[in-house]
Amino acid sequence: MRQQDLGPDGGWRRGVTVYSVELHWWSIEVLDGSGGSARSWRDARGAALTEAAITNGAYDWQWHHFTWGVLLEIAFASDERWQAFRDLPAVRAALDAVPDPVNGLLIYPGRGGSSGRAQPRKPKPIAGAGAAPLPEDDTPPIRAIGQAALERVEQAAGLGVSAPAA
């Protein structure tokens, strides 16, 4: 949205066409490693990555700094644009130069960290389909009793003493 597209009341001017684009977000996480810090990697390679993203159709991008490293979130109009960006020699060189090349690079679709889902999650089904709870059973639970207690119960019931098990 450009400032000139807004009318005097802050709303859209007549005759302005607004296009909606579904963005495909991708995240690149770079972790600190034995080869240096992710922040210094971003300082050295970040401009080249950002320039490559812009020239290959990125609609939005954001850098985030954390105690464990950096995160670059990039939005493209399609996954094909992402793949074209990912295949650029400058991008490959920047990703090959991360501080920890074995465990320090994570690339995945979606926004990074705990940013949540692009679409809200579907509600969980109600337990029992929303019906009333099942009636509770009034019978006491069965308990294991010792041989002496069993003999007392049999004597009280008039059944006599049972023979010991062999």
pLDDT in tens, the chain (166 residues): 444 555 555 555 555 565 667 888 999 999 998 889 999 999 999 999 999 999 998 989 999 999 999 999 999 988 899 999 999 999 999 999 999 988 899 999 988 764 445 555 566 666 656 666 677 777 766 666 667 777 787 787 776 555 555 5
Structure letter (DSSP) for residue 145:
-
> Can you give the length of the chain in residues?
166
Structure letter (DSSP) for residue 1:
-
- Exposure of 39 by Cβ count < 10 A (0-12 exposed, 13-18 middle, 19+ buried)? middle
Q: Judge: domain 35-112, CATH 3.30.70.
A: yes
Domain boundaries, the chain: 35-112
- pTM exceeds cut of 0.85: no
